[in-house]
Structure 1
Amino acid sequence: MADETSSQCETVTSSNSSSRDPSNSDINVTNKFEGCCLHAPELYPSLKSTEVHDENRKLSDIYKEGLNLFDFIANSDAPTNSVETQAKVKKAMNLFEEATRLVSAAGIFSRNESVEEIATNNVKYLLLPAFLGTLILKLCVDERMEVVRTAEVYFRDFLQRCKDYGISEFEMPEPDDTSEDQPDPFEQPHRPCSFDLASMARERSMKIQRFKELKELESKLKDLKALMALPDVPEEVERKYYLTTINMYINQSFDELACLKVEKPLLAHMAKVKKDPPFGKQERRERRDKVRRYEKKPLMPIIITRDEVQKKVYGAGYPSIPTMTVAEFYDKKVKDGEFPDPTKPSNRNALQDRAPQGTLGELTDPSEEERADKERKEEVDDPENLERAREWDDWKDDHRRGWGNRMNRS
C-alpha cells in the first residue's frame, strides 16, 4: 500500500495542490504535516518573487532541487545577509513548501502508521519541516520575532512527527509560553538565584549525550553518503541514509529550540526598548535640562523711565507695556542679586580694593571671557551650545572614565 501511495505522490502536480481550498487543513499555516507548518506569505512578501510556477514537475524533482539549494547554502562561505544567499534561501523555502503541499495532497503520511510502514522513497519527506525551520532562521527580515516563532513551529512539528512514528525515543521539550503580555524579565527586580543542581546535572548530561550522538551520526552519514553516490544503491542503504539524517536533525532541532527559547525574551525586550525612550537617557537629559534652565518669566518688554511722571505718561499711552523708573529698576536688580546692595558693607573684592594689589589684570584673562561667554549662552539657551552639551553628556554616560585604558599595553 505504501508503494501505491508513493507512485500516486509522484504524479501529483502543483496544479492539483494549488486548486485546493486555501482554508483546507492540508495547507494551513499552523497545522501538522497534513500541511506542514507553512509560514504566512504576507509576513514575507519578498518570497513571492521566487514562487515555483512549473505545473508539470514531480514531487521528487521539486524536493531534489530544494535539497541541492539547501546543501549549497549550508556549505557556502558567502555572508548570510548577501543578496545572492537570501535569494537562494527564499527559493529553497518555496521549493520545500511546494513539496509539502504535494505531500499533503497525496496523503502520504498518517498518524496511525509506524516508520516501517512508510515507503523508502517517502521517508525523506519527513525532513521537510526541519529543512524549512533551518532555512527560515537564515532570513534577514525586520520582523525577527515572527521568524523565531515560525521556526519554533517547524522544529516542534518535526520532533512530534518523529516521535509519533517511533523513529527515536525522546521527551518533547516543553512549549515556550513567552508572549507580549508577560512582564519584561529584564525589568524584574533581581532575586537570589536558586540553583537546582540535579536538573542542571541532568541537562548537562543530556547535552553531552546528544553531542556524542551527533558526532557518531555525522560519521555514519558521511559513509552512507558515499554509498548513495554509487549507481545502484540498495534500498536498505537508502533507507538507512534517510533515517540517519532524520536522527541527526532531531539532535539539531533540540539545540535550535533551546537557542530560540533564549532569543525570544531578548527580542521582546528589544522591541519594547524601541517603542520606549532610550534606556534612562531621556530621564537624565530632562534632569540636566532642569538644572541648566533657571526659572524664567515670560519675555516682556520693559521701558526704563526717568521718573514717576514719565512712567504715568508712557503707562497711559501703552497700557500693554509695563514700565518702571530707574530707581525701581535698580531696586529690582539689587533684589535679584545682580547689583550690590548700598545698605551693606562693600565687598572686599571690589575693583577699588583689587587695583592697588595688582590683581586687576586677572579680569582680562581669556579664560574668564570664555567662561562669561559660555554662561551667557547657557542663560539664553543657545541651541547650538545646548545640543553640544547634550551630546557631551550622552557621550560621558556611555563612556565611563578609565574605559579603554590598556595600562600601557600595546
Structure 2
Amino acid sequence: MEENNQVIIAGVSHLQEDFDYSMNELAQLVNANNQEVAAQVRQNIDQINGKTYFGSGKVQEIKQLAQYHNVTLIIVNDELTPAQVRNLEKATQLHFLDRTELILQVFAQRAHSRQAQLQVAIAQLQYQLPRIHPSGNPLDQQRGQGGLANRGAGESQLELNRRTIRQRITKLKQELQHVEKTLTTQSTRRQNSRLPKVALVGYTNAGKSTTLNGILDLITDHDSKKVFVKDQLFATLDTSIRKITLPQQPSFLLSDTVGFVSKLPHNLIEAFKSTLAEAKNADLLVQVIDASDSQRQQMMQTTQQTLLEIGITNKPMLYAYNKSDLTPNYHGVEVAGNNIYYSALQPSSLKTLIQLICQKLFDKYQTIKVLVPFNNSQLNQYVNQLTIQSQSYNNDGTIYHLLVSPTDYSYLAAYQIN
C-alpha cells in the first residue's frame, strides 16, 4: 500500500466507554476511507490535556512512532478542538484528523444522490467553520506571525473566509430544500397510499441492504429493483424504498436506511434527518444486527441512541440477527418472540423473516365481507387498493372478501354483509 495511505490511530481510554470497541470501529472507518492502520496509540489518563488532548509525553511518543512508520497522518478517536489540532500539529509537524472529520470524509465518498451529496457538504462546512485558519495559505499564516502590523489583515481574511463558508452553507441549504421538496412530494404520495411502512435500521454493514435484496429476489425477477451492496461501512447513504407484494397478503413498503455508527457527528445527524424520515414514519422497524460480531450489544446501543437523537421512540421493532449462520450452534432460522436469528443469504431464512414482518405488521388486520354497489365508482376504486381475497357479483353490486386494517374496517363498516 502507498505510504500516504498509512495512518496511526490514537485515543484516550478513560474518556470513553467501550474504548476497545470504539478503537476497533475507528480502524474500520480508516479502512472505509481507503487507508491502512500502521499502529495504534492509547493513553490512560483521568483528564485530557486542554491544549494538546494527549499528555506531553504521549505527544512525543506519537511523533517518534510516526517517524518509525514513516507516517504523516494521525487520526484521533474523538472530536478535537481547533486549538488542540493546531497545537498537536505544531508540536509534531504531523497532520491530525479527528474522528468526526474522518466520518465526514467517508460519507463524502459514499454520497451518490444529489440529496446525500448536499447533506454531507453542509455538514462538512459546518464542521470547518470554527476550524479555519486566518488564511488557507501557510505562507500567509507565517507572515501573520511576524508582529502586530499583520494581525488585522489576518483577522480580516479570517472573517472573509468565514463569511464565504456561511454563504456557501446558505446556498447549499437552499438547494437541499429544493431537492427535498420533490422528495417530500413523493413521500406524501406514499403516505396517502395507506400502505404500511417498514424500515430496516441498524449499525452500518450489518446486512440491511443484503436483506432487502434477498427479499426482492423472492418476489421479483427484476434486478433493477435491487440496492447497492458492499462489505464496507456506509455502503448505503440513500434511503431505498421498495413495494413488497405477496400473495394473499396486504402490500407494504420496505425501506433500507443509512447505517449508524457510534459518535455519529451531530451535524451529520441533523443533515440526514430528512433521509431518516422514512424510519420515523414507519409503522414497524426491523433492526438488523450482525449476530456474528462480538460487539453486537454495543452496536445495538449505538442504534438505539441514534434513533433517540432523531426523535424515534416507542416504535414497534423486530430484532433481526443476521449472519447467525456464522455463529456456533446455528441449526437454521429461529424465531423467539420479536427476535429472529437468520441469514440474509438463505432464502428459507428470509421467508421466515417476511412471515414475521407480516405477522407483526398485520396482527390487527381482519377479514371483512362487503357489498359495493356498481354505481359507487369511488368506493370501488378504494376497495381495489386493498387486499382482495375473493370477489363475486349479485344484482346489487360486487361482493368482496377483504383483509383490512382497523382504519379501513371502520371506513367500510357501513357496507359490511354477513
Which has the larger helix fraction?
1
Question: Which structure is larger by alpha-carbon Rg, 1 or 2?
Answer: 1
Structures share a fold, TM > 0.5?
no
Structure (1 or 2) with the greater strand fraction:
2
TM-score by length of 1: 0.22
